[in-house]
Amino acid sequence: LSEKKKDMGTPAAVRRARDVAKWDREADVVVVGLGGAGSCAAIEAAAAGAEVLVLERAWKGGGTSAMASGQLYMGGGTPLQKQCGFEDTPDEMFKYLVASCGPGADEDKIRFYCDRSVEHYHWLDALGVPFKPTYMHYLDGTDPRTDDGLSYTGSELAHPFSEIAVPAPRGHTVQQEGSNAGLLLMEKLLEAVEKAGAEVVVDALCETLVQDDDRRVVGVVAAIGGEEVLVRARRGVVLTAGGFIHNKDMVRRYAPMLRKCRFRLGCDGDDGRGIRMGQGAGGDAIRMDAATVVVPFSPPRQLICGLLVNPTGQRFVNEDVYQSLIGEICLMKQDGEVYLIVDDEIFVRPEVPHEIAAAGDTIEELERELGFPEGNLQHTVATYNRGAEKGEDPVFHKASDWIKPLTHPPYAAFDLTAPKSLYSTFTLGGLHTRPTGEVIDPDGQPIPGLYAAGRNTSGMPAQGYNSGLSLSDATFFGRHAGISAAAASGDVD
């Protein structure tokens, strides 16, 4: 088969160590991919005294992390939370994350992270990653384009989560105006990689792991400048090569619903190679259908006062849960068939444009124009309005900030259906790892010499993504994968 016709969704076969006549390069720890997870793995492995070699396929490090908005989900009482006047504890953060990232969230990882989130904040701070001690009020938004440091980037204030855990804002955005503070985060991390003494080789595409007869991963085959180079890893290989949203075969095989999303978020490197390499060495890949899905119907925030309905004219969620939870529900549970109903008082053009599917002077007219079953939308709006007159939403429990009866004609329906609306997505499934980074097989046994972090792995959420969880997960668990690899007894000659 030509390369084009190969199924790129299957595990990548390993090369046997006994077939390697001579290594071209070697290091204690070899890190594959220099984004958020890889840089943190390299920094910590080098700090622990390991000789570290980083192989990055692009012309420089950064990856998707450098494209990001720069929000990290941290809490449990960080200095920024305290400076902004919020109390938080690791236990409340744990309760919230287990509830919002499940069912099936990785409780071991969440516990490990919540207990060390404040320490992670200090670690980033010590590397010069800036966070401004100002809070963006939740009524104003979740995604600061200002240089504000703290905001809500999840569903903490929404039902049912506000009843499960004491809400606190945990979105920590790197201080930079605009929407690309991830670039500054990566600049600081890349500076730290250099200072730590890790060697970085760019234009180094890794595709194959080298494994010995005891299953130990002992190296990597890379194409460096187009030439095959065999790199020995004396203690371990850390896979930090990103997600798989740009691998069509993997998306078709594992997460076919994502094909409905128009925007696939991530750098070219998000082609799943790292995951396939780990699978080839015996690593388990889990929650491969998990993804962040965003349907950006707000800002402006007042649109949260509208009603999300499906083509039967029925509501299915409280509209104030976080936009990525709404996105998941719209795509996975409503098949991407969703409309936002507003009246004239709420009406405003969303920042991300959405077409108007229908308009009418009455809800009945709107319902007819949308082609919904007769009476359903009228019943939905009438029921909602009855509660809203009293500031309540007895059916879905939207918070009172966002409740307003829809009584001012004309009425409109924004088209949030998947093909027409800007659903954006990146994958969350990947290699199964312990919180300390060891890649494990389907029996839960570690593959000796193999570690992973970031979107090469399944992180804390099984679903229910909160913004900031990917960068925090990548940087935090990247650190621990680096620490574990550096501490490994390694490949003994």
Residues that bind ligand FAD (CB under 6 A): 32-38, 55-58, 61-65, 67-71, 182, 204-206, 240-242, 265-267, 269, 273-274, 426, 454-455, 467-471, 474
CB of 201 to ligand FAD, least distance (A): 9
Q: How far is the CB of 344 from ligand FAD (least distance, A)?
A: 33
Q: How many CB atoms lie within 10 A of CB 340?
A: 25
> Identity (one letter) of the amino acid at 160?
P
For the CB of residue 322, give the shortest distance to ligand FAD in the complex, in Å: 13
CA angle 18, 21, 22 (to 5 degrees): 125
DSSP calls for 176-245 = -SSS-HHHHHHHHHHHHHHHHT-EEE-SEEEEEEEE-TTS-EEEEEEEETTEEEEEEEEEEEEE-----T
What is the DSSP-derived secondary structure letter of residue 354? -
By beta-carbon proximity to ligand FAD, the closer residue of 184 and 406 is: 184
Would you say 132 and 147 are in contact if contact means Cβ atoms under 8 Å apart? yes
What is the closest distance, in whole angstroms, from the C-beta atom of residue 280 to ligand FAD in the complex? Answer: 13
| Residue carrying the six token digits 């855990």 | 165
Q: What angle do CA 56, 59, 62 make, to 5 degrees?
A: 65
Which residue type does 396 have? F
| Torsion angles phi and psi, residue 381, rounded to 5 | -70, -40
* Min CB(444)–ligand FAD separation in Å: 23
Q: Smallest distance from the beta carbon of 115 to ligand FAD, in angstroms?
A: 20
Which of 170/354 has CB closer to ligand FAD?
170
Pick the closer one to ligand FAD by CB: 68 or 168: 68
Closest CB 185 distance from ligand FAD, rounded Å: 9
> CB 230 → ligand FAD: shortest distance, Å?
15
Nearest-angstrom CA–CA distance, 287 and 435: 16
Position of tokens 């995951």?
Answer: 275
Distance of CA 220 to the CA centre of its chain: 27
Smallest separation (angstroms) from ligand FAD to the CB of 296: 12
Residue nearest to ligand FAD (CB): 35
Asked if 70 and 143 touch (Cβ cutoff 8 Å), the reply is no
Report whether 491 contacts 212 (CB < 8 A): yes
Amino acid at 219: G
Contact 173, 151 (CB under 8 A): yes
Considering only CA atoms, give the Rg of the chain.
24
CB 186 within 8 A of CB 478: no
Minimal distance in Å, beta carbon 126 to ligand FAD? 20
Contact 87, 236 (CB under 8 A): no
| Nearer Cβ to ligand FAD (172/404) | 172
Q: Which of 206, 199, 200 is nearest to 224 (CA)?
A: 206
Structure tokens at 291: 């993804």
The residue with tokens 């991963």 is 217
Cα 294 from chain centroid?
11
Q: Give SS3 for 483.
A: helix
CB 449 within 8 A of CB 420: no
Return the number of the residue (28 or 56) whose C-beta is nearest ligand FAD: 56
Tell which residue, 413, 27, 406, has the closest CA to residue 238: 27
- Are 321 and 393 a contacting pair, CB within 8 Å? no
Give min distance, CB of 147 to ligand FAD, in A. Answer: 14
